[in-house]
Amino acid sequence: MEAYAIKNEKLAQDIVQKVGGRENVKYLTHCATRLRFRLKDPNKADMDALKALNVLQVVNASGQLQVVIGPNVGDVYDDVIKVGKFDFDSNNSTDDNSDKNTGIVSKVFDILSGSFTPWIPVFCGSGLIKAFLSIMTMVGWMSAKSGTYAILAAAGNAVFYFLPILLGTTLAKKLNVSPYIAATIGAALLEPNFTALIKGIGSTIDFAGIPVVLMNYSTTVIPILVAIVIYSFLEKFLKKYIPSQLHLLFLPLLSLIIMVPLTVMIFGPFGVYVGKGIATATTWIIAKSPIIAGLLIGGFWIPIVVFGLHWAVIPIILSNIATNGSDPILAIAMGSVWAASGAGLGVLFKTKNAQLKEIAASGLIPGLLSGVTEPIIYGIFFRYKRSFAYAIAMSAISGAIAGSLDVKATQLAGGIFTIPTFKPIWGYALIAAIAFFGTAILHWVFGFGEDEKLVDTTTETKKENNQYTNEIDTVINSPVEGDVVSLKDINDTVFSSEAMGATIAVDPSSTSIRAPFSGKVIKVFPTLHAIGLVSNEGVEVLIHIGLDTVNLQGEGFTAYVKDNQSIVVGQKLISFDIENIRAKGYDPVVLTIITNQADVQQLKKHANLQQHVTTETKLFEISSK
């Protein structure tokens, strides 16, 4: 696993450098697939250099620099935080002055994104729990009156019920004010003694002689958003006039004693009425022309997601659900999720390129399970316009059908297991099937713009008379003499699964590593157990000597080249002591790995299992893009 960690940390270092360094990063968060940077000076980011890294895509949207990583974004995020020595939990993690040149629209989208992003995975998980309970009670396997149901229902309902608290916390962090005071303001709206005063619609009490209309604030979004925005101005005002020595006591005291009554009297009811107005307007528009509305929402939803504009719609969806118990927008938009997943399935079965198969599979699974489509969008749609067109067409068609059937969502959730949370279930299942299978079939029947003669990168040796459609750019020889061994016998899942790229393993019988091609040294690792190379044609290779040999700290290794040095094929790079490696309990197997396989159009392995190879034996033939 050491190689994976090194690769991740190197990527993190490169990302921090290319965004302008740690001092240029105002804020960083991540969603299911993207690193989301808020930069002090966006002009300092090197977009071309970022796109050249091992990432799916780089997007500037909604005032954010978004680096699309894929499902392993959490690991990369952790490394970026570590490498950059960031601390974004602090209230001082942002720079107020850096927003001066940012447009108001970008600010709004950035705030909404930063407020909702941390909770999206929880929404998905809670939605799955509610879907599970719906299925279990539907088939009679669980009683809605049982203790088991009550406990699981609490797990599924909590994030939605306590939205005023949870959103208050993340919004406050985005606005650089105390998340704890903000959470307390939200909690006051849900305090049991206060909510017990609500006797019905239009119930009132008085505060210091002023009549107050009571509202149910559970599951609401807009009231707390309005309240915390106002609170952000109040806190800055109080900090300006209260001596810093008194902040600990008087800042929370005055904030709560001012904001809670104002929220209950003004901002809360205002937010509720705005939410009801939006819900009514949305329902009216879709009811007036459901087919056209569905066609437009469905057709444009994927581009909306690409630019991050969907964050502005999420509060509307949540408001509709809180007000009416259901929302038509999400039901219509979900057709795009099924279409993107269908594209993943279509590409998976249509392509012969192993790297593209991997991208399709890694996008298909999260799409089906949780409704996350960014891996498909950036890994396939941005590369193949025909695939993008298929998905948009099927999204529009399924959206029109959803509108005509009055399909609605009762929860903010996606994925195959949340189908029971939509109504009517049969209507949603129908549009899901149309979008999913329709898009997959279009890929299968008409193709998606890929060269149909791409060569598979499986380890079986192809016949020598198989010809590529493009000229071979790079031949990679074995860097060491020895016998080819099966990757299944390699006791490291990163290498055996070829997670870092196409790999061939050789059990060495010589003690010299020689250049497999002419090119340049990228990096000689400090412990000398690995070396990174790049060919003159741009193919990047990692030669890794032994498993876990990093622990030897260079003992028994000698390097004959240094970083950035030009090399010629056959040149001696490193020598190593096989017997010392074995004596220390390590496997001396030498691994040759194509680390930038995503930039390779065609790749062919030549080595057979148990074949004896020399440094003149061809391991790979490669055509670059």
Structure confidence at residue 573 as a pLDDT band (50, 70, 90): very high
Structure confidence at residue 469 as a pLDDT band (50, 70, 90): very low
Please give the pLDDT value at position 461: 32
Question: Does residue 625 surpass a pLDDT of 60?
Answer: no
Question: Does residue 615 surpass a pLDDT of 60?
Answer: yes
Please give the CATH architecture assigned to the domain spanning 474-624: Distorted Sandwich (2.70)
606 versus 45: which is more confidently predicted? Answer: 45
Residue of 111, 254, 126 lying closest to 184 (CA atoms): 254
Please give the pLDDT value at position 71: 56
Alpha-carbon distance 246 to 248, whole Å? 6
564 versus 597: which is more confidently predicted? Answer: 564
Report the pLDDT averaged over residues 517-530.
Answer: 85
Q: What percent of the chain has pLDDT over 70?
A: 83
Cα-based angle 208, 212, 216 (whole degrees, multiple of 5)? 135
Q: What is the pLDDT of residues 371-424, one digit of tens each?
A: 777 667 766 886 788 898 999 999 999 999 999 999 999 887 777 878 888 989
Residues with catalytic annotation? 31
DSSP designation for 54? S
> Residues with Cβ < 8 Å from 560, sequence gap 6 or more?
572, 573, 574, 575
Q: What is the pLDDT of residues 425-465, one digit of tens each?
A: 999 999 999 999 999 999 999 988 754 333 333 333 333 33
H/E element, 149: helix 147-161
172 touches 182 (CB < 8 A)? yes
Question: Does residue 47 surpass a pLDDT of 50?
Answer: yes
Structure confidence at residue 266 as a pLDDT band (50, 70, 90): confident
622 beta partners: 474, 603
Residue of 302, 297, 296, 293 lying closest to 389 (CA atoms): 302
Alpha-carbon distance 465 to 449, whole Å? 26
- Phi then psi dihedrals of residue 278, to 5 deg: -65, -45
Q: Considering the entire predicted model, what is its pTM?
A: 0.49
Q: Count CB-CB contacts under 10 A for residue 623.
A: 20
Q: What is the pLDDT of residues 110-169, one digit of tens each?
A: 677 677 767 767 776 777 787 778 778 877 888 888 999 899 989 988 888 898 999 899
Q: What is the pLDDT of residues 59-115, one digit of tens each?
A: 776 577 888 776 567 788 888 888 888 876 533 344 444 444 455 666 676 677 677
What is 2-98's CATH topology?
Answer: Gyrase A; domain 2 (3.30.1360)
Please give the pLDDT value at position 543: 92
Residue of 387, 380, 288 lying closest to 328 (CA atoms): 288
Q: Is 496 helix (H, G, I), strand (E, B) or coil?
A: helix
Domain layout of the chain by residue ranges? 2-98, 176-279, 289-446, 474-624
Quote the distance between the C-alpha of residue 190 and its chain's center. 32
Please give the pLDDT value at position 1: 45
The mean pLDDT value of the chain amounts to: 80
Q: Which two tokens stand for residue 483?
A: 């016998």
308 versus 485: which is more confidently predicted? Answer: 485
Question: Does residue 366 surpass a pLDDT of 60?
Answer: yes
Q: Best-predicted range by mean pLDDT among 175-179, 180-184, 471-475, 620-624?
A: 180-184
Q: Best-predicted range by mean pLDDT among 324-328, 503-507, 617-621?
A: 503-507
H/E element, 84: helix 73-84
Please give the pLDDT value at position 309: 61
Alpha-carbon distance 2 to 487, whole Å? 17
Report the pLDDT averaged over residues 186-200.
Answer: 84
Residue of 393, 404, 406 lying closest to 340 (CA atoms): 393
Please give the pLDDT value at position 310: 67
Cα-based angle 181, 184, 185 (whole degrees, multiple of 5)? 90
Least-confidence region, from 175-184, 457-466, 486-495: 457-466
Cα-based angle 306, 113, 335 (whole degrees, multiple of 5)? 45
